[in-house]
Structures are given as C-alpha cells and as structure tokens.
A and B are shown apart, each in its own frame.
Chain A
Amino acid sequence: MPSVCLYFQVHQPLRIKKYRVFDIGHDSDYFNEAGENNLNNKRILRKVAEKSYLPANAVLLELLRAFPLFKLSFSFSGMVLAQIQKEAPDVLRSFQMLTNTGRVEVLSETSHHSLAFLYSQEEFRSQVRLHDELIRHLFHQIPRVFRNTELIYNNELAHVVEDLGFLGILAEGADHVLGWRSPTFLHRAKDTTRIKVMLKHYRLSDDIAFRFSSKSWSEYPLTAEKFARWISAHNGNGHVINLFMDYETFGEHQWADTGIFDFLRAFPREVLKHPDNDFVTPSEAIARYPAVGELDIPHFVSWADVERDLSAWRGNPLQHDALAKLYAMEPAVLATRDLALIEDWRRLQASDHFYYMCTKWFADGDVHKYFNPYGSPYEAFIAFMNVINDLQLRVGRANRTGTEALLTLPSYSHS
C-alpha cells in the first residue's frame, strides 16, 4: 500500500552582483546585476520560469485534472516568491492554479532560505513567522509541515519546530543517517511528543533528480512504468515513499529533451495502475500513518553532497567568517528598524551565498562549479564581504542618526 508523497522545492536566491571594494559606501543595490550573465537575477528567473516552472506547472495542472487521486506538495522560499511576485506574475498565477485544486500542499520554511537555525533562534523564529504569513497571503494555506533550508535537520530542530506548532518535519534519509531504519516509515524525533519526521527516499528521489538522463546509468532510460514498478515493490514493507527534490529538476537540471516532462506526465497513471498505491500530501501522511520508532539525530544532516552534512556551507574558514560576521550584525541591524536594511541583511542570509564559497569540490569541478555563478569561491567571498562592509556602514549611519535624532529632540517638557 505504499503512498507516494511528492515534495518539490522551489527556490531562487538573489545573487550578489560583482560588488567591488570601491562600491562600499557608494552603492547599496547589491542584487541588481543587469548584464548578460549568471548574476542577473531577473534573467535567471525568466529563464528558469520558461524552461521549468511554467511547463512543469502546466503538466501538473493537467495531471491534477485527470487524476483525482493525484496530490503533491511544494515548498517555496520567500525569496523566489518575492521575485515571482515582482517579475513574473504569470508564474505566480500558475502556481496558484495548482494550489487552488485543494490537492497541493504548501510547506513552511525560513523566509530567506537561511541557515538562521544554526546561528540565531530569534531570527529563525522570525523568518518562519514571516514566511507563514506570506504563504497564507499568496496561497490561503496555513502550513502545518516544516522543511528547513536544504533539509538541514537534527533533534534540536525537531524540538523547536514542534514548539512552533508544526505537526511534521522533513529530513534527509540517506543510509548513513538512518542506519537500519527505513525512510518508508514515519518516525518520532527524539525528545518530542507529537511531531513526525518524514524521510527522503534518497535513492528513488535521486534516480529522477540526478540520474534520469545519465546514459552511463545501468537503468537508463528511466520510464515511468519502470519507476512505478520500483515503488510498487515496496508494497507490504513501507507506508510512504517520499520523493523530495528541487522543482528545477523538471526542465532546468534535466532539460526537456531528456524526456523528463514525458516522464512526469506518465508518472501518476503508472503509479495508480497498481490498486494499492496512492498519493498523499505530507499532512495526509502524518494524519494517516503512525510513527514506528524514535529517530535520534544529534548531529546536523542535510541533503547536500555525498557527505549530507553542513560542509557545503560551513566547510572552510571563508564560510565560517562570512556567516559569523553576518549574524554578529543582528542586534544592530534590527535596532535600525529600517525595513529595507533589514531585508537586505536577510537576503544575505540565503544559504546559496555560502554554497558559492565552498572550496570542497572546487578542484574537481563538479556540481558546486555547475551551480556557482561566480568565477571562483574567492570571488563569491569577496563580493559578499564587500557588501557586508557597506551594510555595516549603513547600519552605523542609521543607528547614529537615530540616536542623534533622539538627543536633539526639543525638550518640550521644560517649556
């Protein structure tokens, strides 16, 4: 009876333009690259929308209409939603058409796709609140299930997220994280009472996300029929198959000419051919299935790289330094009460900025290089630190002006 739970991550960061030392103090538009390059956020959003979001949404809408049992879930970063609202209202509408079917659940996350949980509980909670408000505003849903940036997870996070009122949380289900446990069952996080953990079935998820077009893969080409057979094979030894992946898998990571959209189009029909199979949203899975055991994950895990740890964002001194400087600014930034300034500070929290500084795989030129719009991790670090310096100037100026304004207030009480 395995249920299939689909969750697609929709995220586009705001990449920092080539921001030079000389720009500090003169230019506070950090994200407005306009050239024909991969730091131009508008250009990338448009490209991804055309190649992935719009065609994939069209396929999903068609499927939701054709198969009453078909369901799925999305998690959007606040950053992609803000960009779509501003630059691509057609894309927003097409997502809303999906959620309006009532069979598409929207999850919660941090508004700025941040690593805030690792640095500031206060900021983490603020961002979750902000994000849930935005989801309610755009999709008329109150999220009940949480997924942290890049599926970063540990016991403590589950505890905090339960405290925030969520019923479920998503996590990576790689072998070395799970040990003997199966990702096809729900689990109870250690020291929690109610919240259930849903684990990514990484092998089946990665078959689509990473291996789909790999000609050297023994299972190439992957058909929906074959994939549905693998799912049905779990019959009797699992409750739910969690297929978690980036939404850009469809059309952007796997281009249309790989046949990925045909695969998607055929997928529900093939899964539903087996009478015991069905689709669930995360909330439904949590309501329907019990937690079979306790999951004790004291150390952080994530869905990144082979290590599935934090090393993609916190693996070298550049990343540590940049993150430490950014979060050290929190009290001063919030004290300005300047919304534009606070928003800029939050945009700098997107995990992507630190991912671009990763030197781990740099020499081997693999996936990090593919996703890095900068020439090198060093260029990413330099642009980021220059921006931090400008932000510090602005914060200093704003707080000084604020204090001066207070000090120079005419004291009416004496008159």
Chain B
Amino acid sequence: MRVLMFGWEFPPFNSGGLGVACLGLTKALAQEGVEVLFVLPRKLPVSSSSMRFLFADQEAKVTVKNLDLLLTPYITSHGYEEARRRHGSSLYGTGLFAEVHRYARLAEEIARREDFDVIHAHDWLSFGAGLAAKEVSGKPLVVHVHATEFDRTGGNTINQYVYEKEREGLHAADRVVTVSTFTKQMVVDHYGVNPTKISVIHNAVEHDERRCAPSGFLALKNEGTKIVLFVGRLTLQKGPDYFLRAAKRVLTYDRSILFLMAGAGDMERQIMEEAAYLGIADRVLFLGFLRDEELGEVYRSADLFVMPSVSEPFGITPLEALSYGTPVLISKQAGVGEVLPHALKVDFWDIEEMANQILAALSYPVLREVLIDEGKRDAARCSWQDSARSVITLYQHLLGPSY
C-alpha cells in the first residue's frame, strides 16, 4: 500500500504539535509496512541526512518530496506576507491564498508522475493539494483534521476563505479523520459533515527514553519552590491569558509559587505586559520556544502542567508532561481529555476553579501521587502504532479487501 501524504514539517523544524503528529503517524505507518510518499512544503530543501535520522528504521518506506513553498502550519495572511518580504522571491504566491493555490498545482504534477493508492492530507492548507491530487488520479482522499478555523480563532473572527477551503476539503474527501470526538463534533456542527463519514483517531506520544539536562528550575524545585508550567504557542487558542489570570488568583493565596511559560506566538507581548499589569511579573517567567532537552527539563521541573486551551482538538503536550512524570490540569475544551480520564479538568474560563485545582495539586501530595500514577498509565496507552493501525484499517475500507 502506497500513500501520497501531504504533511508538515517535522521536529526540529516544527513550530507546534502538527509536525509532531505527522512524524509520529508517518513513522508508525512505515513500521506497519505502508509506503509513504511524504510531500513537504518547505522553504529550503530538507537535508537527506536529517530524514535518515528521523526514519532510521524505515528509510526504504518513506520518501520525502520537498516542495518549495512558503507555507507553514498556523500561518496567517499577515504572517505569510511578512515571510514573503523576507524571502523577497517572486517565486512564491502573491498572498497566502495564492500560495495555497500554487501548492495545489504542484500537487497535481506530483499526482500525475507518482504511483500511489490513497491520498492523505493534513489540515486545510493542504486540503487543496489533496483535492487536486484526487482529481488528477481518481484515488480516494482522506483529510485529517488537527484543528479547524473555529479552534484557531476561538470562534470569533472566522476567516471566510479558510472556512470555505476547510468545508470544501471535508465534503470532497472520501473519509475524514479527526483527532478527537471533540473535533468530530465540531466538524459535524460547523461544517455539516455526515458523522458516519468521520473516524476519530487520537494522537499519541512517542514512548522513547526521556532525556533532560539538569536545570536551575530543578534545583529550585528541590529547594521547595512549587512550579506550575504552561507549554504552548502564545496565541488565543491556547488560553495563555487564562493561565495568567489563574496565576494571579493563586498568587494572592500563596506568593511563593513560580509560573513558567514556554512558547512563542502572536500574544507574547500582550501576555508579558499583562503579567506586569497584574503585578505578578516577578512570579511568571517567560522561557521562549523550547525543544528537546531544554523542554524536557522544564517538564520535569514542574509540579503541575496546565493546558488551559480555549479550544484544543487534541493537545499532545499533556501526554509529554506525563511522560516526564508531571501531573496535568487540562481544560475541558480539549480532545486529549478523551484519552486522559485521570487528568484534572476545568473549564478554561473558570479561573476560580482552575486556581483551586492548582493549589490543591500543590498542597495535597497524595493527589499528585495518584494523578501521576494514573495519568502515566493513561498516557502509556496512547500509541502511534495503534493510531497507525486505525488509519490502515480506514485505508483498507476505502480500497477494498485486497489491500
């Protein structure tokens, strides 16, 4: 079985969970014997050595096809125009939507040249490419929803063009995969997709050895400072402002607690200013975008990880936190809650309750103990292998029993 997959940048070049999910799924598919022709929009050619590193075991199964595009996950029209100015090339589309269109034309060429059985496209930026490939080849299309425009904007300033593109892809696809039941409901309610056409396949986390360097935070923690951690893009969807307000509430009760925020994003400046305005700038530290060992050490240093997302289709970070033995508090508006029955949960807007649960987790040692034990067990049950098998079953369903 050969899949033409329109995916996104892998770590260490990713800027969020989409790349992590694409990598996890692709690796696991290859391990299950599926050949993946992975189309990767990218400004620079991907070095073959880094790909060899990523797919050390499955090199023969995964072929990465680089397309010179200015598209990245989470990109906005504004962000695109900036990137285009920076690169100063007339090669790229005159605007984000022109670039998405160019992607579809390039995808058509690939679909004409290559041999494959099924097409799999991740998120709206690649839906057009998937559709174009389907039209040229007549092969079935699977679209995979990691986030919708409603998640990204909190339902406020929906971009009509993006919505139309999402809707078009969802309706034209032969099958839709959502990363949670939460997102499935979103796709049914807001895009009018028939629920029987949608399969929920949860994301997972890689269960390899967790490396982390000794850190100053770990030393602080060992001295008794309680640490509460946020990891995520500083953008509306992730609720960094709710995290800050909960921090403020907690600090009125116990001034010694330290809040760490790891991540970058369009709200970075606003959040920093708000911390100062709330008078808690000394207890909230901004760490910027972290990865690998650096991220590992803050995960391990934290007494509690908080994901206050306003709308989170899945959310891999709580699984990462648990894999470092850190208990998690997540918003009820997050798909990952479906695989974490033993996490603390709160409505993202319920600051009082969020603060209450943060303080309880820090005050009652036995609560942390149980949350860690049960949470780790929940997280360990999430495997990319299982997700890949579900995807393969779905392919087989589309292609017939001979595959």
Residues of A within 8 A of B (CB): 18, 20-22, 316-318, 320-321, 359, 362-363, 375-376, 378-379, 381-382, 385-386
30 contacts between A and B (CB under 8 A): A18-B353, A20-B356, A21-B253, A21-B355, A21-B356, A21-B363, A22-B355, A317-B370, A318-B366, A321-B364, A321-B366, A359-B370, A359-B374, A363-B342, A363-B378, A375-B345, A376-B345, A378-B342, A378-B367, A378-B371, A379-B357, A381-B364, A381-B367, A382-B356, A382-B357, A382-B367, A385-B360, A385-B363, A385-B364, A385-B367
Chain A's closest residue to B249 (CB) is A22
Chain B hits for A378, CB < 8 A: 342, 344, 357, 367, 370-371
A363 CA / B340 CA spacing, docked (Å): 9
> Which residues of chain A have C-beta atoms less than 8 A from B342's C-beta?
359, 362-363, 378
CA separation between A318 and B371, bound complex, in Å?
10
Asked if B186 lies at the interface with its beta carbon under 8 angstroms from chain A, I say: no
A317 near B352 with CB under 8 A, answer no
CA of A386 to CA of B359 in the docked complex: distance in angstroms? 10
CB distance from A48 to the nearest CB of B (A): 28
Q: Hey, which chain B residues are within 8 Å of A320, CB to CB?
A: 366
B364 with A382: CB separation less than 8 A: yes
| CB neighbours of B345 from chain A (8 A) | 375-376
Q: Tell me what chain B mostly uses at the interface: helix, strand, loop, or mixed.
A: helix
Measured between beta carbons, the chain B residues less than 8 angstroms from A363 are 341-342, 378
Q: Which residues of A contact B355 (CB under 8 A)?
A: 20-22
Q: Which residues in B have some Cβ–Cβ distance to A below 8 Å?
A: 253, 341-342, 344-345, 352-353, 355-357, 359-360, 363-364, 366-367, 369-371, 374, 378
Q: Chain B's nearest CB lies how many Å from the CB of A230?
A: 39
Closest residue of chain A to B378 (Cβ to Cβ) is A363
The reply to whether A318 and B370 form a contact with Cβ atoms under 8 Å apart is: yes
Q: Is the CB of A20 within 8 A of B353?
A: yes
Please list the 8 inter-chain residue pairs (A to B) with the smallest Cβ-Cβ separation, ordered nearest first: A20-B356, A321-B366, A382-B360, A21-B359, A363-B341, A317-B366, A21-B356, A385-B364
Q: How far is A18 from B355 in the complex, measured between Cα atoms in Å?
A: 13
Contacts of A318 in B (CB 8 A): 366-367, 370
- A382 to B362 alpha-carbon distance, docked (Å): 11
User: When the two chains form the complex, which single residue of B341, B360, B369, B370 contacts A21, counting CB atoms closer than 8 Å?
Assistant: B360
Tell me the bound Cα distance from A386 to B253 in angstroms: 14
Q: A359-B342, A362-B342, A363-B342 are in contact. Are A316 and B360 (CB under 8 A)?
A: no
In the complex, chain B residues whose CB is within 8 Å of the CB of A381: 364, 367
Q: How far is the CA of A362 from the CA of B357 in the complex (A)?
A: 19
For B253, the chain A residues whose CB sits under 8 A away are 21-22
Report the minimum CB–CB distance from B68 to chain A (whole Å).
Answer: 47
**B246 CB, min distance to chain A CBs, angstroms:** 12
Q: A20-B356, A318-B366 are in contact. List 10 more A-B contacts (CB 8 A).
A: A20-B353, A22-B352, A22-B356, A363-B342, A375-B345, A378-B357, A378-B370, A379-B357, A382-B364, A385-B364
Which one of B352, B356, B363, B370 lies within 8 Å of A316 (CB-CB)? Answer: B370
Please indicate the chain A residues that have their CB under 8 angstroms from the CB of B359 in the complex. Answer: 21
A155 to B46, CA, bound (A): 74
Asked whether A362 lies within 8 Å of B341 as measured between CB atoms, the reply is yes
CB distance from A327 to the nearest CB of B (A): 16
A20 touches B366 (CB 8 A): no
B228: shortest Cβ distance to chain A, in Å?
Answer: 14
Q: A317 CA to B373 CA in the complex, in Å?
A: 11
